[in-house]
Structure 1
Amino acid sequence: MTRRTRVRTLSVRARATALALVLTLGLSGCVPLFLPEQAPTTSVPTGEKVDADLEPFYNQVLKWSDCDDGLQCTTASAPLDWADPGSGETVDLALVRHPATGTRVGSLLVNPGGPGGSGYEFVKDSLDYATDAKLQAGFDVVGFDPRGVGRSSAVSCYEPAEMDEYLYGLATAPRGSDAWIQELSAAAVDFGAACQENTGALLEHVDSLSAARDLDLLRAALGDEKLNFLGYSYGTFLGATYADLYPERVGRLALDGALDPSTSNAEVTRVQATGFENALRSYLADCLAGEECPFNGTVDEAMATIGALLASVDVSPITAADGRQLGANTLLTAIIYPLYQATAWPNLSEMFASVLRGDADLAFQFADGYNGRSDDGTYRDNATEAFLAINCIDYSYNDDPASMRAQAAEIEQAAPTIGKYMAFGDIGCANWPHQFDGERSEIAAEGADPILVVGTTNDPATPYVWAENLSEQLESGHLVTFTGEGHTAYNKSNACVNSAVDDYLLKGTVPAEDPMC
C-alpha cells in the first residue's frame, strides 16, 4: 500500500462527545413529543442598531418549518467575510430548535465541540444527552452548524475512497524518518489542495473568530438581547471567543470541558497525550480489578503490553475482513474513542481482546465511529474535514523537522505509551492553503456577566488544567469541578454538576465557590 496515514493531533475532537452514545448509553436522542402548540414559527430580530452593511444579517427574519419529532428548522445567512460584510458573498447557517416546554427564558444555543461537530445533529438526534428536562422546559434549545460544518455552508475535500486512504492508509517509510515526514507532508498538501478546490472561498473563512461573529448574528436574529450558550469541548473556545468580542452581550455562558485559549498547538498535543495516557491507566486499573480483563499483572505491565501492541501493528499491520490494514495510528484512534467516557471501558476491553487475538474488525468499528465512517464506506458528515480546516487556521504550525522531532520527544516523555503516535501533528496544517493570522492569547472578556466553566479532573481530551486556566483568565469566570473520569460533565456525571449548570443557565446563579462535585 502506498503513502497514507494522516498524522493529526487529537485536539479537542468532540465528535466523541456525541458519538460516545454509540458505545455507552446506546441513546437515539429521544425528543419529547409534547411541545407547546403556541411555539412561534418565526423569530423576530432584536432590531438593534448595527452598521448598514450588517443590517440585512442582523435584521433577517428567521422562518421556521416543522422537522421530525416536533422540532423546527431554518437557515440563516451570514457574511462570508466579516471584514467585508457588504461584498454580497454569504454563507448559510443551519439551525434546529426544540421549543421550550415550560415558561420560556429565551434561546439557548448549543455547540457540541470539535471543531467540526454538528450542533444541528446534536440537538436533533441527542437532545436528552445535550440538555436535561429543566433546560428544555426553560429554553428554546437551538442547535446550529458553524460555518464549514455539516448542513451549513460546508468544507468539502475528498470522496469516501480518498478519505479512507487519507485516514487509514499506511506510510511506507519508517516512522519519524525524513522520508516519512516527506511522505506525510505530500499527503497533507494534496489534501489541502483538494479542500481548496472543492470548498472555494469559504475555506479561508471557517476560523473560530468568524464563527463567533456568526453567533452574535444568530443571537440577534433569534430575538435575544444577550447570548445564552452551552458549549462543550471546542465549544468552550467558541463561547470564550464570543465573550471576548462582545462582553456586553454575554448572557449566560456555560463552558464544559474547557480549552485554554492561550495554548499552542504543540502544547495541546502534549497535554492531551498526557490526558489520554492517564485515562488509559485509569481504565487498566479498573480492568485489572475485574474478572474479564484482557490484561494481566500490574498497570505498568499492562501499559507495556499496549505499547508493544502499538509498536507491533506499526511494523506489521493486521488485515481486517474488509481488507483494510490496522496500523498504529488507527489502533490509537480505536483506543481513544472509548476513553472519552468511563462507561465505555468494557467496550475497550472487548476491542483489546480482539486485537490481541489478531482480529482488527472491532478496532476498525471504533475508529470508524470516531471518524464518522459508515459500514458501507461512506461518511456521515464532514466533521473530519471541518476539524482540520478550522484547526489549521486557528493555530500556528511549524514543519521544520528538527522542531517537530524536539516536540515529539517532549510528547513521548509526557506520554511514554501513546505519545509517539500523537506527535508530528504540525505536518497536517503547516502547508495549509490559508495560514493563521494572529496570536493565541488568554481571554479575559472584561465586563462580561458571570461565565460558568466546568472541568473534569481526569478529562482526557480537555484536561482539567485547561478549565482552571480558562476560569482564571476570564474576569468573571466561575469554576465548577467534577471529580471523575470522562470528557465533559454536564448531564453525564452527577446531580451536583447538573444543578450548578441548570441554576446558572435558568436563574443566572453562580456558586459562591467551586462546589467540587
Structure 2
Amino acid sequence: MLGEMDARRVAAPAAALAVVALVAGCTTTTAGRGSAAGTAAPPGLEAFYGQEPEWGPCAPFAVTPDDADAYADPALDCARVTVPLDYADPDGRTAEIAMLRKRATGDRIGSLLTNPGGPGASGMSFAPSLAGSLAGTPLAERFDLIGFDPRGVGSSEPAIDCETDAERDEERADLDVDGSPEGVAIAEADSQEFVDRCVERVGLDVLANVGTRDVVRDLDVLRSALGDEKLTFLGYSYGTFIGAEYAEAFPANVRALVLDGAVDPAQDAVESLVAQGAGFQLAFDAFAADCAAQPGCAIGPDPAAAVERFRALVLPLYDAPAAVGDGRRLGYTDAMTGVVQALYSEELWEILRIGLQELTVGQGRVLMLLADLYESRAEDGSYSNDLEAFPVISCVDEERITDPAVFLEIDTRYREVAPFRDDGRGPSSARPPCAFWPVPPTTEPALPVVEGLPPVLVISVTGDPATPYEAGVRLADQIGGTLLSVEGNQHTVALSGVPCVDDLVTRYLVDLEVPADGASCVI
C-alpha cells in the first residue's frame, strides 16, 4: 500500500552520513533493593527496579557488520537489563533490554537516553555516531550517553525475526502493484504469510507485548538501573511517541524531554498517512526545484514538469529493471524506496540527483544503495531486524483496520496528495499485515494527558516530510511544552550540527533552560 512504508522513520543525519560514505554482557537482579533511584517501584515490580547492570565490552552485542565495527570502540560499554515480557505477569517469562553507554567525561549530571525512531530502529546502533558528533561538547562532559534497543529490536532479546535474509530480498523484488481482485488476493496472501511467519518464529506472547506501552515501562526500569532519579530523554520521530507516552505514565519521573519530529499520537491512520504523503510531496517539490537549477538534472529544468518527468523515468523499471552490478536489479519498488530515503534530508539530495541521472543510462547502483540503507541491508546481504520490527510494533500500537474500503481510500488519497508516488496502475484495497494481526492493539490513538510535567522541549521542522510540522505544534500545546520551530527540509534536526538548534538543546538538557516563546532556527 502506498505510504505505509514511510511512517515514523528514523532521524535523518546518521543515514545521510552513511550513504555519503557509500557513494564516496548480561545483568543481575538484586532482589530486595526495590528502589528506583529515589522513586518507589510500581507494586509487584520491585525485583526489576534497582538492578545493577554488568557493563562489559560491546562486541558480543553486535548484530550487524556496522555494529561490529562501531562496538569495537573501547570507550563504549554495554549491558542488558531484565524486564517482564508481560507486565501483567511479572513472575512469568522475562525479556532482556540491551543498552550501550558512552561515559560522561566530566562533572556528570546523569544519563541521557536516546531513541532514533522507527518503530524498530536500534538506539545502540545510533548512539556511537551521536557520541562521535558530541565529542568535546558539554553534553559529552555532563551525561552518560545511553542508546537502548527497545524490546524485540536489535540486540534485545527475544528479537523480532520473522523473515530470513533471502526472504527479505525476495519480498523487495516482488511487485504487488495490481489493483485487480486477483492482484489484491495475491498481496493479501503475502500479508498473511508474513503474519504466519511471525507467529511461528517469534511467538504470540512476544507479539502481544512489543508495543510502546511496554517500551515505556521498560524505559522506567532502565532509568532505575542507571541510577537516575529522573529521566533525561532525547527522542527522534517515533521516539517522540515513546517520550510522550512516558510523560503520561511517569510524569513525576521526568527531568527533561527533547521530542524532535513529533508523531501525532491522536491522528488516525488514514489522516496520518495522507498527511505524510503530502509531506513527502513537498520534499520532492523542494528537491525538484533544487535539481532544476543544476545542469543535467534528470527530471528537467522546469520544476512544474518534474513529477511527470520523474514518473517517466521510474515507471519503466516495472518491466525493465536497471542493472546494479551485484547480481541484483533495481525494480520500481526499490527505486521508490531509495528516492524516499533521500527525501528525508537535504544532505542526500545530491546523491539522489546522481541516482536519477544513472537511471537515464540504465544504471541503478546509487538508488539501490539508498534503498539498501532504508531497508538496513548490509554489503554482505544480511539485514538488521528494524524493518521487520516496524510492522510488528505498529500493529499493536495503532487502531486495527480491517475494512478494504479504508485501504482503498488511503491509497486513493495518497496518490492525490503525492503524485510523484503514483505508479499509474490505480489504487488498491489490499490489506497490509496489521489487518490480519493475531493479537489486539495495546495503544489507542489519543493525545497524552499529563499533569505535573516539568518543562519539555518540542522541535518541529517546517519541511519535515515524515512527521509534519503541525504535529509538533499540536504535541507541544497538548503537553505544555515549549516549541522550537526550525525552517528547513529534513526529518529531525537536534544535535545534527545546526548551531542554533544544538545550542538551545544543550542549554535545555544541561541547565533545564527552555527557549523563549516563539524561538526559531534556520537549517
TM-score by length of 1: 0.90
- Considering only aligned residues, what root-mean-square deviation do their CA atoms show, in Å? 2.4
CA gap of 1:438–1:150, structure 2 versus 1, over 3 A, is: closer
The answer for the alignment partner of 1:10 in structure 2 is 6
Question: How far apart, CA to CA, are the structure 2 residues paired with 1:473 and 1:26?
Answer: 41
Q: Look up the SS of the partner of 2:51 in the other structure.
A: coil
Amino acid across the alignment from 2:8: V
The answer for the alignment partner of 1:384 in structure 2 is 387
The answer for the alignment partner of 1:263 in structure 2 is 267
CA gap of 1:412–1:231, structure 2 versus 1, over 3 A, is: same
Q: 2:180 aligns with which of 162, 177, 182?
A: 177
The answer for the alignment partner of 1:79 in structure 2 is 84
1:433 equivalenced with 2:438 (yes/no): yes
The answer for the alignment partner of 2:417 in structure 1 is 414
Which runs of structure 2 are paired with 1:55-454 in the superposition (5 Å)? 55-67=46-58, 68-87=73-92, 89-129=93-133, 133-153=137-157, 154-171=159-176, 175-200=178-203, 201-318=205-322, 320-379=324-383, 381-418=384-421, 426-454=431-459
Decide whether the 8 Å contact of 2:3 with 2:414 is kept in 1. no
Q: Look up the SS of the partner of 1:96 in the other structure.
A: strand
Q: Deviations over 1:49-76 (max 9, x none)?
A: 3345311111211121244231121110
Question: How far apart, CA to CA, are the structure 2 residues paired with 1:51 and 1:429?
Answer: 32
- Could you tell me the percent identity over the aligned residues? 37
CA gap of 1:57–1:448, structure 2 versus 1, over 3 A, is: same
Q: Look up the SS of the partner of 2:111 in the other structure.
A: strand
CA gap of 1:18–1:179, structure 2 versus 1, over 3 A, is: farther
Which runs of structure 2 are paired with 1:493-508 in the superposition (5 Å)? 494-508=498-512
Q: Deviations over 1:32-87 (max 9, x none)?
A: xxxxxxxxxxxx95164334531111121112124423112111001101122222
CA gap of 1:110–1:132, structure 2 versus 1, over 3 A, is: farther
Q: Look up the SS of the partner of 1:433 in the other structure.
A: coil
Decide whether the 8 Å contact of 1:351 with 1:362 is kept in 2. yes
Q: Look up the SS of the partner of 2:396 in the other structure.
A: helix
CA gap of 1:15–1:495, structure 2 versus 1, over 3 A, is: closer
Decide whether the 8 Å contact of 1:45 with 1:61 is kept in 2. no
Question: How far apart, CA to CA, are the structure 2 residues paired with 1:420 and 1:270?
Answer: 16
Amino acid across the alignment from 1:388: P
CA gap of 1:189–1:92, structure 2 versus 1, over 3 A, is: same
Q: 2:517 aligns with which of 498, 505, 513?
A: 513
- Measured after TM superposition, the shift of residue 417 of structure 1 is 1.8
Where structure 2 has 5 or more consecutive residues not aligned to the other structure, the ranges are 24-34, 59-72
1:473 equivalenced with 2:478 (yes/no): yes
Q: Look up the SS of the partner of 2:86 in the other structure.
A: coil
Question: How far apart, CA to CA, are the structure 1 residues paired with 2:274 and 2:239?
Answer: 21
Q: Deviations over 1:105-138 (max 9, x none)?
A: 1111011111111111111344234787221111
Decide whether the 8 Å contact of 1:261 with 1:440 is kept in 2. yes
Where structure 1 has 5 or more consecutive residues not aligned to the other structure, the ranges are 28-43
Question: How far apart, CA to CA, are the structure 2 residues paired with 1:463 and 1:6?
Answer: 18
Amino acid across the alignment from 2:4: R
Report the number of matched residues: 493
CA gap of 1:6–1:515, structure 2 versus 1, over 3 A, is: closer
Question: How far apart, CA to CA, are the structure 2 residues paired with 1:451 and 1:25?
Answer: 35
Decide whether the 8 Å contact of 2:51 with 2:225 is kept in 1. yes
- After TM superposition, the structure 1 stretch with the greater mean CA deviation from structure 2, 64-73 or 274-283, is 64-73
Question: How far apart, CA to CA, are the structure 1 residues paired with 2:331 and 2:101?
Answer: 41
- Measured after TM superposition, the shift of residue 237 of structure 1 is 0.5
Question: How far apart, CA to CA, are the structure 2 residues paired with 1:433 and 1:143?
Answer: 31
Question: How far apart, CA to CA, are the structure 1 residues paired with 2:387 and 2:13?
Answer: 14
- Measured after TM superposition, the shift of residue 289 of structure 1 is 1.1
Question: How far apart, CA to CA, are the structure 2 residues paired with 1:500 and 1:125?
Answer: 21
